[in-house]
Structure 1
Amino acid sequence: MKFDFRGEDQEANPREVLLMVYSALKEKGYNPINQLVGYLLSGDPAYIPRHNNARALIRKLERDELLEELVKTFLESNQQQD
């Protein structure tokens, strides 16, 4: 029997993970912003549902990686051009 673990070795993209988790939270009827903030502040995975594998996806990344992506994206999208 042959196993392929390549999918597990690939690094998760913080932007894609956040978007997928956001979508899963909306589908389940949660307020995605409140749930993500709760998770980022506490580290408690209970803020993220298992729906669409969202909890497993978000736990592949460290919370500081997610925060870095959020800050970077916010600042890049709000930069004023001189």
Structure 2
Amino acid sequence: MQDMSHTQYFKVQKEPELGISDILEVVYQAMSEKGYNPVNQIVGYIMSGDPTYITSYKNARNLMMKIERDELVEEVLKYYIKKHSWE
């Protein structure tokens, strides 16, 4: 029988939060591995909001849905502009 006079502690480990670039990397790789064109599929998702454009393989769809689509577009545009040194 257990000792009921003490409170037991239960600690749940949080999963590390991924940034937008990390999520895009996972999604891109998952789409590529499944034979899809990742750029076309991600654009389809951004334009329509339909998560079925993203494969559920490697939890890519759930990860992608954690990002607001406008934040995704903003992040991609920032990266593009920075890469081309237009600022």
Rounded to whole Å, the distance in 2 between the matches of 1:65 and 1:11 is 16
- Bigger helix share: 1
Pick aligned residue for 2:20 from 1, 7, 14: 14
User: What is the match of residue 30 of structure 1?
Assistant: 36
TM-score (norm 2): 0.81
The letter for the 2-side match of 1:6 is K
Point out where structure 2 has 5 or more consecutive residues left out of the alignment. 1-8
Which position in structure 2 is the counterpart of 1:64?
A: 70
* Counterpart for residue 4 of structure 1: 12
Amino acid of the residue matched to residue 10 of structure 2? K
Shift of 1:3: 5.2
Greater relative contact order: 1 or 2 (C-alpha under 8 angstroms, separation 6 or more)?
A: 1
Which stretches in structure 1 are left out of the alignment for 5+ residues? none
5 Å matches for 1:39-50? 39-50=45-56
Q: Tell me how many residue pairs correspond in the alignment.
A: 79
